[in-house]
Amino acid sequence: MPKPHILVTRAVFPEIIEKLKLHFEVEANTDDVEWQGEELVRRLQGKQGAFTTGGVKIDAAVLAGCPELKICANMAVGYNNFDIEAMTRHGVMATNAPDVLTETTADFGFALLMATARRVTESEHFLRRGEWKTWRYDMFAGSDVHGSTLGILGMGRIGQGIARRGALGFGMKVIYHNRSRLDAGIEAELKADYVSKEALLKSADHLVLVLPYSPSSHHAIGAAELRQMKPTATLINIARGGIVDDAALAAALRERTISAAGLDVFEGEPSVHPELLTVPNVVLTPHIASATIPTRLAMANLAADNLISFLGGKGPLTPIVPVAPAIAASK
């Protein structure tokens, strides 16, 4: 039987390409240039599958140009690069890479929280500039993490991982807000209390955003929400750019409406709002929350296994929309 053809849209671990080659004719983006729009459509001609990463947009225009495409497997848990409604309409299976990155991403959320609260990068820059001349009683004095109130907006797997670290590791009081409330048993295990969004904003000493991006979460944190937070509070975003209004946040940081922020994701990334680059009280990282070698390898393997399983007729492993398999299989 001839092997299906697939496109690997960005560079990935060589062993993943080798594994895919056992099952498919593979066109791989070895130069790691960004293929979008017309270029992506051109590359996808004759391909039944695509191995995608979070920056590769699969929208109605791309789908209209690729009638042979049956599956896009995202090497990311987030999938706001997919137009799921259009994919369903075109009968294209969409899969993501959940679970395998949960603990690594929760670790990073905590790293960013601690770096922000304890002013790690700001003080390092000061030291590197050669400005450290003496001890001072309040030099880079930040806020405590242990024993403080940890607020979590979005309480999926990663949010729960952060709650566990906060409650069990740092004795934090954990409060959260989410579309749906957790089971009482999980709340008890995490020592997490469900509160309104307003109460979350008002009470959190450290507010971590871990909700998926969608039109309804666009600018979930804007000027009005920032004004409700404590002036001593920190805000951590490891979710997606666009959930925070970055211009409003930059203004709040400059005016000290809140004390500091830690951001791994940005509106319009890899561009960063220019004012965020000039305010000192923000820790900035380039969307690396899941970036450890074992976890990135696990994510890539899961995306590859979705392609292998689905195009091998066995169904997807981690479909985003559970009903889509039937549609795509009948294509």
Instruction: Provide the annotated active-site residues.
Output: 240, 269, 287
Asked if residue 8 binds ligand GLV (CB under 6 A), the reply is no
Sequence letter at residue 80: N
Q: Which CB sits closer to ligand GLV, 76 or 150?
A: 76
Whose structure tokens read 């995306």?
Answer: 303
Residue 178 DSSP code: -
Closest residue by Cα to residue 86 from 101, 65, 112: 65
Question: Under 8 Å CB-to-CB from 301, ≥6 apart: which residues?
Answer: 16, 19
| 174-193 residues near ligand GLV, rule: CB under 6 A | none
Asked if residue 212 binds ligand GLV (CB under 6 A), the reply is no
Asked if residue 262 binds ligand GLV (CB under 6 A), the reply is no
Kindly tell me which residue out of 290, 295, 309, 318 binds ligand GLV, with binding defined by CB under 6 A. Answer: 290
- Span near ligand GLV by CB under 6 A; candidates 5-13, 70-78, 273-281, 305-313: 70-78
Letters for 88-127 (x = contact with ligand GLV by CB under 6 A, - = none) are -------------x--------------------------
Question: Under 8 Å CB-to-CB from 85, ≥6 apart: which residues?
Answer: none
Q: Quote the CA–CA distance of 301 and 310 in Å, as a whole number.
A: 14
Contact (CB, 8 A) for 174 and 192: yes
Q: Which CB sits closer to ligand GLV, 178 or 290?
A: 290
* Shortest distance, position 154 Cβ to ligand GLV, whole Å: 13
Three-class SS state of 88: helix
Kindly tell me which residue out of 65, 78, 91, 325 binds ligand GLV, with binding defined by CB under 6 A. Answer: 78
Q: Quote the CA–CA distance of 71 and 227 in Å, as a whole number.
A: 44
Letters for 14-53 (x = contact with ligand GLV by CB under 6 A, - = none) are ----------------------------------------
Q: Which CB sits closer to ligand GLV, 251 or 321?
A: 321
Asked if residue 54 binds ligand GLV (CB under 6 A), the reply is yes
Q: In DSSP terms, which residues pair with 152 in a beta bridge?
A: 176, 208
Closest residue by Cα to residue 235 from 269, 268, 274, 201: 201
Q: Which CB sits closer to ligand GLV, 101 or 150?
A: 101
Contact (CB, 8 A) for 289 and 2: no
Q: What does the angle CA 186 – CA 298 – CA 323 come to, to the nearest 5 degrees?
A: 65
Residue 284 φ then ψ, to 5° = -120, 125
* Shortest distance, position 94 Cβ to ligand GLV, whole Å: 13
Asked if residue 77 binds ligand GLV (CB under 6 A), the reply is yes
Q: Quote the CA–CA distance of 60 and 152 in Å, as a whole number.
A: 34
# of chain residues touching ligand GLV (CB under 6 A): 6
Kindly tell me which residue out of 7, 76, 114, 300 binds ligand GLV, with binding defined by CB under 6 A. Answer: 76
Q: Which CB sits closer to ligand GLV, 157 or 331?
A: 157
- Span near ligand GLV by CB under 6 A; candidates 72-80, 175-183, 221-229, 255-263: 72-80
* Shortest distance, position 96 Cβ to ligand GLV, whole Å: 8
Q: Which CB sits closer to ligand GLV, 290 or 318?
A: 290
Q: Which tokens go with 107?
A: 């670790």
As to burial, measured by CB atoms within 10 angstroms (0-12 exposed, 13-18 middle, 19+ buried), residue 61 is middle
Radius of gyration in angstroms for the set of CA atoms belonging to the chain, rounded to a whole number: 22
Q: Which CB sits closer to ligand GLV, 100 or 248?
A: 100
Residues that bind ligand GLV (CB under 6 A): 54, 76-78, 101, 290
